[in-house]
């Protein structure tokens, strides 16, 4: 079976980015014991990631690069902003369990969309956060192997494509995603 639309895919890989000294640096690893699993062709992955895997089958190796503009785009300096420290207070105190440089925290934008932000610096009255994707501005180099390709089940597709509106995977509805 080959990788094509609505197939469940498992891959192991190493992701490298360009290092400061001209050498590539390992950024992420998905192992055979903890592979990346996704449904192909439904928008879960970067389009260029999927384009490089299309047509491959189990045990096929891959080695490809994605330029930053086809991955997470350029790093935007305007994505680093200062937010009022009060946003991060719990019972009048800064929530230091979660608010410290380097940690990633979920925030909401003005339209109620969830946005991940990396804490850059905690200042006297503000907390500086970086709203850029952690790989923004990075050229990506994937080296790995396809472990499995199979048809997605109806339940998986219902769940992944939003066909279930039961809000719980423990319901008694006939949605199919819970049973």
- Tell whether 114 is covered by a domain: yes
Same structural domain, 48 and 12: yes
Q: Each residue of 106-118: pLDDT tens digit?
A: 998 888 889 899 9
Which residues contact residue 35 at a Cβ distance below 8 angstroms, ignoring those fewer than 6 apart? 10, 11, 12, 147
If one counts the domains in the chain, the total is 2
Structure tokens at 89: 């207070």
- Res. 163 pLDDT band, cuts 50 70 90: low
Provide the CATH number for the domain around residue 32. Answer: 3.10.50.40
Residue 16 sits in which domain range? 7-72+135-160
More confident of the two residues 172 and 47: 47
Same structural domain, 143 and 112: no
Structure tokens at 84: 């009022």
Give me the torsion for CA of 40, 43, 46, 52, rounded to 10°: 30
Give yes or no for residue 20 having a pLDDT over 90: no
Same structural domain, 65 and 91: no
- Tell whether 170 is covered by a domain: no
Same structural domain, 56 and 106: no
């Amino acid at each position: 079976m080959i990788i094509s639309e609505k197939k469940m895919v498992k891959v192991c890989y190493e992701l490298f980015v360009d290092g400061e000294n001209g050498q590539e640096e390992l950024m992420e690893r998905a192992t055979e014991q903890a592979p990346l699993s996704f449904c192909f062709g439904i928008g879960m992955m970067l389009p260029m990631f999927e384009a490089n895997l299309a047509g491959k089958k189990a045990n096929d190796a891959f080695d490809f690069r994605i330029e930053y503009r086809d991955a997470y785009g350029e790093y935007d300096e305007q994505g680093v902003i200062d937010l009022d420290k009060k946003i991060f207070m719990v019972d009048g105190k800064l929530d230091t369990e979660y608010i410290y440089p380097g940690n990633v925290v979920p925030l909401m934008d003005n339209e109620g969309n969830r946005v991940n932000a990396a804490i850059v610096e905690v200042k006297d009255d503000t907390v500086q956060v970086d709203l850029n994707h952690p790989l923004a501005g990075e050229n990506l180099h994937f080296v790995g192997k396809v472990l499995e390709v199979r048809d997605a089940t109806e339940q998986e597709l219902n769940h992944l494509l939003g066909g279930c509106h039961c809000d719980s995977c423990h319901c008694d509805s006939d949605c199919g995603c819970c049973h």
